Amino acid sequence: MADFVSPGWHWFIAIVTVISLAACLWLIFANRAGKSTGGKVGVTGHKWDEDLEELNNPLPRWWFNLFLLTVFFGFVYLTLYPGLGSFAGVLGWSQTGQYEQEIAAANAAYDPLFERFAGSEIPALADDADALRAGERLFSTYCTTCHGSDARGAPGFPNLRDDAWLWGGDPETIKQTITNGRAGAMPAWEAALGEDGVRNVAAYVEKLAGREVDEEWAALGKEKFDMMCVACHQADGTGNPALGAPNLTDDAWLYGASTHTIRETIASGRNGVMPPHGEFLGEAKVHLLAAYVYSLSKDE
């Protein structure tokens, strides 16, 4: 069980649990009536339909014993396993330990299947049908929640089948991204630009992408772009993979391509996170998964 913020919570939970079980025992014995001798059974005083009365029969013996067994089971369980606050139980079992055992068993069984691909270069694996089948299964398990089953992404989650790479699309960079994760941040500019400034910069960004825009707005937006945006997106708007700053001259829009969405991005900023998978998956699986992702954009 996780550590509590205060030792008092351990004692609170443990004491309340033990008292509750003891109260159950008391309740069972306090309300136990003697075995009927065949005489007239008393009534509870509840009556319906004039003459339908509730009798005060004792609990059947099997039912009474079942209650006792349930309470006894509770005491035994809480002695052996976690449940009384921070007490770990005499067996020392924990969910974390159980999970680690299962992971170790799975790794022992399946790691050799992935290790056989570890010695090959990623471009070579991208042309290996067996490697791609294994990589696809890894992708389906760990990546589809964000990038979709077809790897074409969703708003805020990159499309892995095109050639628009925020951090770079060469094999080693893809592997590094999967291993260590990425954190990209677009600061909010509304306070500095104002509403009209956001509109103008958005117009200039759309012009960079080859769209027809209001030229007056775009000209004003370029002035602000040159002051505030070139540090990340470069003077020509082609971006900077070292910072994860996107290329603004193509038609790949991570959060959406509408004018409203572009303005919202500039005004409020964006924060994207790719979690690291290296420690969880291990070197061999990351290597194979990188080969599969690399193959997706190579085939388009």
Nearest Cα to Cα of residue 1 among 70, 72, 82:
82
Where are the domains positioned within the chain?
1-29+55-93, 101-181+278-299, 184-274
Asked, colleague to colleague, whether 101-181+278-299 and 184-274 share their fold, the answer is yes
Pick from 9-13, 170-174, 246-250, 295-299: least confident: 295-299
Give me Rg for the CA atoms of the chain.
33
Mean pLDDT of the chain: 91
Q: What is the pLDDT of residue 52?
A: 85
* pLDDT tens string 96-148: 899 999 989 988 998 898 999 999 999 999 999 999 999 999 999 999 999 99
* CA distance to 15, 137, 152, 277, per residue, from 254 (Å): 54, 25, 11, 22
pLDDT above 60: residue 300: no
Q: 54 φ, ψ to 5°? A: -90, 120
> Which residue matches tokens 């509403």?
195
Please name the residue ranges forming H helices in 122-271: 122-125, 129-142, 144-147, 171-180, 190-208, 215-228, 230-233, 259-268
* E strand or H helix that includes residue 45: strand 43-48
Q: What is the pLDDT of residue 257?
A: 94
Q: Does domain 184-274 have CATH number 1.10.510.10?
A: no
Q: Give the span between the Cα atoms of 252 and 208, in whole angstroms.
A: 12
Q: What is the mean pLDDT of residues 192-218?
A: 97
Higher pLDDT, 61 or 231: 231
* E strand or H helix that includes residue 286: helix 283-299
Q: What is the pLDDT of residue 2?
A: 54
Q: What is the pLDDT of residue 170?
A: 95
Q: What is the pLDDT of residue 56?
A: 74
Residue count (the chain): 300
Q: Give the span between the Cα atoms of 231 and 250, in whole angstroms.
A: 19
pTM score: 0.73
Pick from 11-20, 29-38, 134-143, 278-287: least confident: 29-38
Q: Give the span between the Cα atoms of 91 and 79, in whole angstroms.
A: 9
Encoded tokens for 218: 């775009």
Single-letter code of the amino acid located at 223: E
* pLDDT tens string 23-72: 999 988 887 765 555 567 677 777 787 778 887 777 788 888 999 999 99
pLDDT over 90 percentage in the chain: 76
Q: Give the span between the Cα atoms of 223 and 251, in whole angstroms.
A: 23
> Which residue matches tokens 């070197």?
283
* The CATH number, out of the four listed (3.30.70.100, 1.10.760.10, 1.10.3720.10, 2.60.40.420), of the domain defined by the range 101-181+278-299: 1.10.760.10
Q: What is the pLDDT of residue 219?
A: 97
Q: What is the mean pLDDT of residues 225-235?
A: 96
Q: Give the span between the Cα atoms of 106 and 99, in whole angstroms.
A: 11
**Residue 48, strand partner residues:** 52
Q: What is the mean pLDDT of residues 265-291?
A: 95
pLDDT over 70 percentage in the chain: 95
Nearest Cα to Cα of residue 276 among 177, 143, 185:
177
